[in-house]
Amino acid sequence: MSLDKDEKAWKEAIAKDKLTWNHVSNLKFWDEPIAKQYNVESIPATFILDASGNVVAKDLRGEELRAKIMELLAK
């Protein structure tokens, strides 16, 4: 989820950084409904969701993030 305001700059950054996962944004900066839904108060923020959309972990970085994803993928 992105808090961008400029669609062209947002899409260019995705391409430049070769980000291969799904991206979503309503281009509303801090008024982004998805950010409000998940109570995002700073960026970057990470949320891991299960198949039902429930948050199972948040604000993990580095090895901690990698380990949690590997744990969930093993299920």
Q: How much is the pLDDT for 34?
A: 87
Separation CA 49–CA 1 (nearest Å): 13
Do the beta carbons of residue 23 and residue 14 sit within 8 Å? yes
49 Cβ contact list (under 8 Å, min separation 6): 55, 56
Separation CA 56–CA 68 (nearest Å): 9
pLDDT digits (tens, 9 = 90+) for 21-66: 889 899 999 999 988 988 888 888 888 988 888 899 999 999 999 9
Residue extents of the structural domains in the chain = 7-73
The CATH topology of domain 7-73 is Glutaredoxin (3.40.30)
Separation CA 35–CA 44 (nearest Å): 11
Q: How much is the pLDDT for 9?
A: 95
